[in-house]
Structure 1
Amino acid sequence: MIRSRHRRAAFAAAAMATLVAAGTPSPAAAGIGDRLFPHLGNPGYDVLAYDIAFEYSGSNSKPLRAVTVIEARATAPLAGFHLDFARGTVTSVEVNGRPARFESVGEDLALTPARPVRAGAPFRIGVVHTSDPNATDGGWVRTDDGLAMANQADAAHRVFPCNDHPSDKARFTFRVTAPKGITVVAGGLPLFREPGDATTTWAYRTAHPMATELAQVSIGRSAVLRRTGPHGLPVRDVVPAADRERLARWTARTPGQIAWMERKVGPYPFETYGVLIAGARTGFELETQTLSLFERGLFTDPRFAEPYVESVMVHELAHQWFGNSVSPVRWSDVWLSESHATWYEALYAEERSGARLSERMRRAYGLSDAWRAVGGPPAAPAPPAPGRKTDIFRPVIYDGGALVLYALRERIGAAAFDRLERTWAARHRYGHASTADFIALASEVSGQDQTAFLRSWLYDARTPAMPGHPDWKADGAVPQPAAAAPQQGGRDPHRHGKPA
């Protein structure tokens, strides 16, 4: 296992220059040097755990009262430091039980503790704040009957103060007080449910570290459908109460999908799983850890064929291994998450409905040069446009990234490729891994140096020749099926899609 602070220490080295020797906070948001999101994350400490309490009034447009408690360890002397936080009002901050000075700096909260924190020391931060569900740039999603979270890529800090970068994973506890008649479900397993006169407090805790972008809390008039998955895994699905019977046929497929993924890449990595089907219009699905978020319309719109819907479910499930358990070191490594989720989505569709993986890859190859021209190569995606931060989720990291995996399998053979996948998921379980780590492991497992081959596929402006397929052309002339179903074109299974 690779602990987050070990990875993060090297990645944050450049950003540490923003801290003077005494550890005073910089006047502007420092970030940890991510090429795509330069202001995300904060140097000088490693978060170990979050304990976040929300009070929900029953209105999904009224700010929630909240308290966030952060357990961290200093990696440098800290006379001051930053948290990522925006879209809420802070009323007080404590560090190690003493009041701390605070001010908002851009989308950061700059803190000055009463006493400096020495390097290597554990410390606790407590922030009393509000959490505003009215933001339009990510974070809370207002549903027909409550709220859910969609924090990818940079929006967790619009919900709670945090170190909002996937290189700093931590354990989470959520405590939510809501009016009676409202059901709360969050990532992880339930700790308790405490009824009061007019409200109920619900508490959940994750058993494994989680990136802030993967946090999930569902608040609404929901039904929770419980069943048992492989090896006794507790499976719970959350659906609008009014749609319980209509959606049960879809949620009943989750245990079988988990078993299918386990046959491909090894044991499911977490303590529970389930799908959260929300009455919301987001344009995307999201792999929030142990409780993936889906639009209700994916399951009720007749334009989406059953094999397509199931493959999208598998896409988000596959992320529990690729992206959640094994997280990217930096956002440029996100192709590792999306390419693998796309790969198993496509493989599942091939096995269950006959939609040939090779044909999908041939079509992707035809578009690959155009994708690279617009979005950069898979492992060096172009930065998002101002105000469009989710633009990093372009086709080049989905099918374009899966095309890299296909090329590698064609080069090293199916048996070596399958060993690579299992080894990757096991070796980096609950940690982080980078593009360089993937190249090194591919070389190790195949017994041949794959560096030049994979670097060309991952970083070149033009798509390399596909091994074993000299007739494939990356010229944009993409062969289409004679009768392409609208369910198979146009909707990105992960983000900002719609039926063709």
Structure 2
Amino acid sequence: MLLNPRPRPSARPAGHRKAALLASAASVCLLAAAAPPVPLGVGDRLYPYLGNPGYNVASYEVDLTYPGTHDKPLEAVTTINAWTTADLDHLNLDFAHGTVRSVDVDGRPADFARAGDDLVVTPDQPLRRGGWTRITVRHTSDPAPVKDQDGGWVRTSDGLAMANQADAAHLVFPCNDHPSDKAMFTFRITAPNGYTAVANGLPTGTERVGRSTTWTYRTRHPMATELAQVSIGRSAVPHRTGPHGLPVRDVVPSGDRKTLEPWLAKTPDQIAWMESKVGPFPFETYGVLMAQATTGFELETQTLSLFEKNLFTEPGYPKWYVESVMVHELSHQWFGDSVTPRTWSDVWLNEGHATWYEALYADEKAHQPLADRMKAAYAESDRWREAGGPPARPKAPAPGEKISIFRPNIYDGAALVIYALRQEIGRPAFERLERLWVREHRDSTATTGDFVRLASLVAGRDLSGFLQGWLYGDKTPPMPGHPDWKQAPPAKSAKPHRPRSPK
């Protein structure tokens, strides 16, 4: 994700993915059927109420019916197929913004109740550990803004889009809203004729009945809930071909297609550039969604990155800068989407790498020196750490500002960690590490500890001591190879290094 402070080897099985998080949460009394419903979570340090113990989701089927106006909620049916990891008399789903009409579990009606941001479901008979269950929730999905909440549905000039990072997917549909529990997705979107719907993955069918049309999309790779995307609008969907025949499709307002085409045409070469750095593109398709909306950020929704259209039409942004922002979100497809953080404290692995490749692209393509940017970041690093915590242990979000974990310490501050690592182990070893990282953890989740272990393996020596200070220290360690780099004097105010900083 990119914030805009302007006037701007193998995938782990599902049970393993959440083992660490569930260790404490599983102790919650799930079997006390007589107890009142309570909100649960998987114990994430930054968002402790997100996610739920006792099951792992295998797939979501999300059916949405758009009425053609922002003033009415969408009618929706969300079906969740999951494996139970504990004996359950009831289970919790994250869902906070809609009316629940009914819930079925394995085809039989179930009781349900609200508890905070959770929907607590009680089936007519207990669910046993290791079993397969299917939960169907009929509900509404409300595009109205929610007080003290960031994200969920985004109202565009002609429809809707989604922005669910970091904790807002449960404002749109019932889910296990934590990145540790990735799943496959199918979307079916019905809208009045004249609208176009596009979602993550590839289309599997379109059906027009009377005055409405239904579009179906399905992912071929697991996805975290925060990366879900559905665009509904009066849109054009231009298609082109990327490297190795990769289908590339974009979504833009119909009237702006010609104006935006020069930017859209850049994506295949940008994908080729990223593949030259880290290896094959990890998904079945890619494209950009240019929305006529004011969000304050760009967002790496899986296979279809969300951008504010004005980024590409505002004359004040240099061409090289806009291209580097496009590469920032593209690089997230490897770092954050394919390899997903197991906890939100690991988010520096997403944003640090995306910022790194953003800066490297600007260095190689636009002669914006990488070393200069890293030196400037080094000067501010201690202040960023004081304000937001060290990169791998960010401070919790401010009250009422759920996305405020996205501070400079996990962008340029985390990219500085990556630069320091490259300085320490050398470019050839670093480039091997990057390729191995996205290959070993593809379609899975990973932690900061996993990255340190792989870096040590590639370097042939234990790097945990070296990286400890860079990742967790209150003060920034000396930069290898640059003993002259210093922190800025205390009197100088700290600012992000870009006119738009990433989310």
TM-score interval, normalised by the smaller of the two chains: over 0.9
In the alignment, is the contact (CA less than 8 A) between 2:412 and 2:497 conserved in 1? no
Contact 1:90-1:127 at 8 Å conserved across structures: yes
Partner residue in 1 for 2:411: 398
- Identity %, equivalent residues: 62
CA distance in 2, matches of 1:152, 1:191: 26
TM-score with structure 1 length normalisation? 0.96
Q: Deviations over 1:226-283 (max 9, x none)?
A: 0000010000000000100000100000000000000000000000000000000111
In 2, the alpha carbon distance for the partners of 1:213 and 1:4 equals 17
1:67 matched residue in structure 2 = 77
Match of 1:41 among 51, 54, 60: 51
Residue type of the alignment partner of 2:422: R
> 1:90 deviation in Å?
0.1
Partner of 2:109: 99
Q: If the length of structure 2 is used for normalisation, what is the TM-score?
A: 0.95
What CA distance in whole angstroms lies between the structure 1 residues aligned with 2:79 and 2:489? Answer: 52
Give me the whole-angstrom Cα distance separating, in 1, the residues matched to 2:198 and 2:246: 17
- 3-state DSSP class of the match of 1:128? strand
Mapped to 2, the partners of 1:8 and 1:69 lie a distance apart of: 21
Deviations 1:150-174 (A, max 9, x none): 0000000000000000000000000
**C-alpha distance 110-465 of structure 1, shift in aligned 2 (>3 A):** same
Identify the residue that residue 4 of structure 2 maps to in structure 1: none
* Partner Cα separation in structure 2 for residue 105 and residue 233 of structure 1: 44
Q: Deviations over 1:93-147 (max 9, x none)?
A: 0000010000111100011000111100000000000000012421000000000
Q: Aligned partners of 2:70 and 2:308: how far apart in 1?
A: 17
Partner SS for 2:180: coil
User: 1: distance between equivalents of 2:55 and 2:31?
Assistant: 15
Residues 232, 415 of structure 1: CA spacing in aligned structure 2 closer, same or farther, 3 A cutoff? same
Question: What secondary structure is seen at the aligned counterpart in 1 of 2:125?
Answer: coil
Shift of 1:23: 7.4
Write the distance in 2 (CA, Å) between the matches of 1:238 and 1:398.
27
The 5 A counterparts of 1:51-62 are 51-62=61-72
> 5+ residue gaps in structure 2?
1-10
- The letter of the residue matching 1:338 is E
- Alpha-carbon RMSD: 1.7
Distance in 1, Cα, partners of 2:61 & 2:83: 15
Aligned 8 A contact 2:30 2:89 in 1: no
- 1:10 paired to 2:23: no
Q: What letter corresponds to residue 371 of structure 1 in structure 2?
A: W
1:20-419 paired onto structure 2 within 5 Å: 20-21=30-31, 27-136=37-146, 137=149, 138-419=151-432
For the residues of structure 1 that align with 2:46 and 2:256, how far apart are their CA atoms?
39
In the TM superposition, residue 490 of structure 1 has moved relative to its aligned partner by 2.6
Amino acid of the residue matched to residue 144 of structure 2? N
Q: Tell me if structure 2 keeps the 8 A contact 1:84–1:108.
A: yes
- Closer, same or farther: CA 476–172 of 1 in aligned 2, 3 Å: farther
* 8 Å CA contact retained: 2:31, 2:89: no
Q: 1:428 aligns with which of 420, 433, 441?
A: 441
* Aligned equivalents of 1:20, 1:55: Cα separation in 2: 34
Look up the SS of the partner of 1:366 in the other structure: helix
Q: Is the 8 A contact 1:23 1:76 kept in 2?
A: no
Matched residue SS, 1:231: helix
Q: 1:20 deviation in Å? A: 4.1
- C-alpha change, 1:278 and 1:264, in structure 2 (3 Å) is same
Indicate the structure whose relative CO is greater, using CA pairs within 8 Å and at least 6 residues apart: 2
* Amino acid paired to 1:42: N
Aligned partners of 2:378 and 2:486 also within 8 Å? yes
8 Å CA contact 1:22–1:77 kept in 2: the answer is: no
- The separation in 2 between residues aligned to 1:361 and 1:83, in whole angstroms, is 42
What is the deviation of 1:47? 0.2
Secondary structure of 1:204 counterpart = strand
| Alpha-carbon distance, 1:26 to partner | 6.8
Distance 1:141 1:248 in 2: 23
How far did residue 30 of structure 1 move?
1.3
For residues 27 and 392 of structure 1, the distance between their equivalents in structure 2, rounded to whole angstroms, comes to: 29
Over 3 Å off, 4+ runs: 20-27, 476-480
Change (3 A) 1:488 1:367: closer
Contact 1:350-1:357 at 8 Å conserved across structures = yes
Aligned to 2:6: none
Report the number of matched residues: 489
What is the alpha-carbon distance in structure 2 between the residues aligned to residue 337 and residue 133 of structure 1? 28
CA distance in 1, matches of 2:497, 2:118: 41
The Cα offsets for residues 171-194 of structure 1, whole Å up to 9 and x where unpaired, read as 000001100000000000001000
Q: Secondary structure in 2 aligned to 1:154?
A: coil
For structure 1, the residue ranges without an aligned partner over 5 or more in a row are 481-486, 496-500
Deviation for aligned residue 1:28 = 2.1
Compute the displacement of 1:2 (Å). Answer: 1.8
Structure 1: distance between partners of 2:115 and 2:50: 13
